[in-house]
Amino acid sequence: MAAPLSNIRVLDMSRILAGPWAGQLLGDYGADVVKIERPGTGDDTRHWGPPWLDGQRGGESGYFLSTNRNKRSVSINISVAEGQQLIRELVAQADVLIENFRAGTLTRYGLGPDELLAINPRMIYCSITAFGKSGSRASEPGYDAMIQASAGLMSITGPAGRDSEGPQKVGVAIADIMAGMYATTAVLAALNAREATGQGQHIDVPLYDSQVAWLANQTMNYLLSGVAPTRMGTAHPNLVPYQAFATRDGNIMLAVGNDRQFAAFAESIGQPALASDVRFAANSDRIAHRVLLVSLIDDALRRQTTAHWLKELGDRGVPAGPINDLEEVLTNAHAAERVLVRHLTNTLGQDVPTVSNPVDFSSTPVSYAKAPPLLGEHTEEVLREWLGYSEESIASLRGSSAI
């Protein structure tokens, strides 16, 4: 059966991560995603290596490969009139356009939302910006790390206290990725609305606002208490015990979510009386006596190995897990069972590993049809397929440096 978005055409005019992540998700769900890139250089992340696919500089970077599956690459120079006209013609055939230029940039080229929605009123024009299309910071650029810092995430990430290590950013560009996820859901919602109204619309997804929105319980904790959350290392502000602990030979992540689980945990470590201790009986009590309880647990868990505790806790239904590195995650038996890694072949015959989309549709499967594209490899194909261009017209565009 066809993938769920097999009838949708997407122009992905974005680069780096937030926009490409959204485009890749739509491609995974079956959309025909055409990635528009600058001739000669393409998406900046093509050059963000090592590592490289072929082991040599000049191949495809791991960063680029991680976020451009299921796309076709078309090289268009939007700084020349002929290139701008090509975009307008492609827009007339598109259902969705994704872009993450600095606010106002595409408008200067005559490719802003007002201009393009006038050409195709049914299209969904999705802009991913740093700080939104309005407000005093609308024209500022934004990269993931600065958003993690300025929108609050780094203030709650890293070791507790004011030690020398200080605030930390998350180990992946999570502000970009989450903005891409918000953009994807917004595009799907707008496509559904179009079914009822027949009209497209402009969507603005700011990195900053997205970051603030998904801080979830941490922002609500502040709104209710008036106290800004701080860094707690691996600990949880609302649950105890919920953090990493050292064992005799390694570490373990404990995630006790309710009083029943705490009682089972206390039994697992041979101290069932902890569950009836008035200082620890309820989660709110455990939060009030966090330092003491954590000290008792730390002492107990250091006496046995990680494997021992995982079995004891697992047998009693207490959520806990090892702290695996990515080699273990991507090569262990569970990875094979769940097919977490798949292999695609690009047009050069190279094997391209990719991490699977986690969604499992029962009747409209995720697509793994295309390896991340080489720069501009589908330019002629798309111009012929979408626009009916002749070889002479394509040659003319090359002659004018539009493609």
Backbone φ and ψ of 204, nearest 5°: -120, 120
Residue 229 buriedness (CB in 10 A; 0-12 / 13-18 / 19+): middle
Structural domains of the chain, ranges and CATH numbers in brackets: 9-213+342-399 (3.40.50.10540), 242-323 (3.30.1540.10)
Residues 6+ apart with CB under 8 A from 220: none
> How confident is the prediction along the chain (403 residues), in pLDDT tens digits per residue?
789 999 999 999 999 999 999 999 999 999 999 999 999 999 999 999 999 998 877 678 999 999 999 999 999 999 999 999 999 999 999 999 999 999 889 999 999 999 999 999 999 999 999 999 889 999 898 899 999 999 999 999 999 877 667 899 999 999 999 999 999 999 999 999 999 999 999 999 999 999 999 999 999 999 999 999 999 999 999 999 999 999 999 999 999 999 999 999 999 999 999 999 999 999 999 999 999 999 999 999 999 999 999 999 999 999 999 999 999 999 999 999 999 999 999 999 999 999 999 999 999 999 999 999 999 999 999 999 999 999 999 999 999 999 9
Q: 200 near 190, Cβ under 8 Å?
A: yes
97 DSSP β-pair partners = 11, 125
Q: 255 near 320, Cβ under 8 Å?
A: yes
Element (H, E) at 168: none
Residue 74 buriedness (CB in 10 A; 0-12 / 13-18 / 19+): buried
Q: 250 near 322, Cβ under 8 Å?
A: yes
Please tell me the number of Cα atoms within 13 Å of 86 on its side-chain side: 30
Query: Which residues form the catalytic set?
Result: 176
Residues 6+ apart with CB under 8 A from 277: none
pTM of the full structure: 0.94
Is the bond preceding 241 in cis, omega lying within 30 degrees of 0?
Answer: yes
CA distances from 29 to 6, 18, 177, 179, 338 (A): 7, 17, 17, 18, 19
Q: What angle do CA 94, 99, 105 make, to 5 degrees?
A: 120
Q: Is 126 helix (H, G, I), strand (E, B) or coil?
A: strand
Q: Is 311 helix (H, G, I), strand (E, B) or coil?
A: helix
The alpha carbon dihedral of 145, 146, 151, 155 has a sign of positive
Using CA atoms, how far apart are residues 65 and 58, in angstroms rounded to an integer?
Answer: 13
Residue type, 49: G
Using CA atoms, how far apart are residues 99 and 82, in angstroms rounded to an integer?
Answer: 19
What single DSSP character describes residue 271?
-
Q: In 211-315, at which residue ranges do the beta strands (DSSP E only) sit?
A: 242-246, 251-255
Amino acid 164: pLDDT: 63
